[in-house]
Amino acid sequence: MSATWAVFLGAASLVVAPMPRGTSRVSSTRSIASEPDTPPSETDPHAVPAAFDLFAACLRAGMPAGSAARVVAESAPPDLAAELRRGADRLALGADPAEAWEGSGAVDALDDFARAARRSAKSGAPLSDTVAELAVRHRAETEDRVAAEIDRAGVLVSGPLGLCFLPAFVCLGIVPVVVGLARDVLGAGLM
């Protein structure tokens, strides 16, 4: 009961207590809401496909590849963001698009993108369609990998469950039947 009163009094003090001069409750909540978004963590399985989707959208909107790479790097996973910035810097310095996107091997997805960018630079085909296809392919690969991990977890869980339920099944299901049958067989033989 006292904890409830403490919470109630704490909330009431926030409502009743005067704010220091020059501040307002609205401005303090706006500063929290306007904090910059943090890049997605590397544990997000759809971070790379989402980055490729954003890259394709930027290219379809008419942005040059270097500018689109800088925009995408702001929200991409850290490794991919570094490679995108490096490629954008190379393009800004006048490198050939086929060579600007050569990956360092740190990100496999960027190697696929580099091959697509080289093909696009040589053939003149739009890069946005290829990048969108890369996003779809990487998303499907990620979903397949996650589904395999889920299936593996199901198999790993069945072992401990079997060890817990098998003895209970034997003690509560099989032993009474065997004892009952033995009593009937042995009891019939004694008469």
Q: What is the pLDDT along the chain (191 residues), one digit of tens a residue?
A: 555 655 555 555 554 445 555 555 444 444 444 444 544 445 787 888 899 999 999 999 999 888 999 999 999 888 888 888 988 999 899 888 778 877 656 667 777 888 888 888 788 888 888 889 889 998 999 899 989 999 998 888 888 888 888 888 888 889 999 999 988 888 765 55
Expressed in angstroms, the distance from the first to the final Cα of the chain is 70
Please, how many CA atoms are within 13 Å of residue 172, restricted to the half-sphere of its CB? 6
Q: Which residues of 114-133 are buried (b: 16+ CB within 10 A; e: fewer)?
A: bbbbbebbeeeeebbebbbe
Query: How many other CB atoms are found less than 10 A from the CB of residue 70?
Result: 20
Q: What is the pLDDT of residue 83?
A: 86
Task: Decide: pTM greater than 0.85.
Answer: no
Q: Which residue has the tokens 């630079």?
A: 121
Per-residue DSSP letters for 74-125?
A: TTS-HHHHHHHHHHHHHHHTT--HHHHT---SS-HHHHHHHHHHHHHHHH--
